[in-house]
Amino acid sequence: MNLKQNNKIISQATDDYYHLVEPILLQESRYRCERNYNGNDHPLISVYIPTYNRAELLIERSVQSVLGQTYNNLELIIIGDVCTDNTNELISSIDDKRIRFYNLSQRNYRYPPSAENNWFAGPVVAANYALDIIRGEWIARIDDDDIWTEDHLEKSLSFAIANNFEFVSSNYIAKMPEGDIIPEVEYFGEDRKVKIGGTQTWLYRSYLSFMKYNINCWRKEWNKVNDTDLQNRMYRAGVIIGFLDNVGCHIYPRPGERHIGLKAYLDDNK
């Protein structure tokens, strides 16, 4: 059996499992936890950042933008994916008890090494670890090189509570050398009314944390990126989704690069 055939079998088996199990787990989680969301307008939000050897960028961008939010009832969980730089040292120098840092101890085989696969599935192990240790009623993710608008959490949470959404997202602006770009938002459903923005704008109820990122997403023939794989499963499982037509995040190329996302990885395979 060649790699392509093997990937197809594993992808189909994984998708069948998610399709069967996740809607059932969603109903069970709602039954157990939904009552906790009635009348609580100032809940704890668990913000997590997966990172790998970008210490200075992590502190300058994402950490500062999280700690500077107008909504301050949050915990910040930073997961190092076996960082070998000074990430721990720089985080330890910040005097804020809301921060928790964990550096994973080993990096086992995950996928054939390539720029594409690292983009598709690179953050999955660290992100899933964060989902296992959250304490809050809501979950938000930001990547280590992104910057939230200062009222991102406040506006997203108010919107979710007011409309009884389990999951909300919004727009982001890519701050590129050629000018600002607001990417198109993906639509779902037959009526094309359900919209989901980029992962760095997500805010969702913590009883959805059983829906983990798929480490085998790179094997798929389409929809290979870990976050779009997860958002599609959330929609398919029946999560109540809302979209806030607002810019919640600014994304910049990393220092020395001209692109973001997969193009940046392809420009610099190292």
pLDDT confidence of residue 190 = 66
Q: What is the pLDDT of residue 177?
A: 83
**Which residues of the chain carry a pLDDT beneath 50?**
none
pLDDT of residue 98: 97
pLDDT at 21: 97
pLDDT for 188-202, tens place per residue?
Answer: 776 777 899 999 999
Q: What are 199-222's pLDDT values in tens digits?
A: 999 999 999 999 999 999 999 998
Predicted local distance difference test score (pLDDT) of residue 210: 97
Domain boundaries, the chain: 3-267
pLDDT of residue 59: 97
Q: What is the pTM of this model?
A: 0.93
- CATH code: domain 3-267 is 3.90.550.10
Share of the chain above pLDDT 90, in %: 76
Positive or negative, the CA dihedral 90, 57, 79, 118 is negative
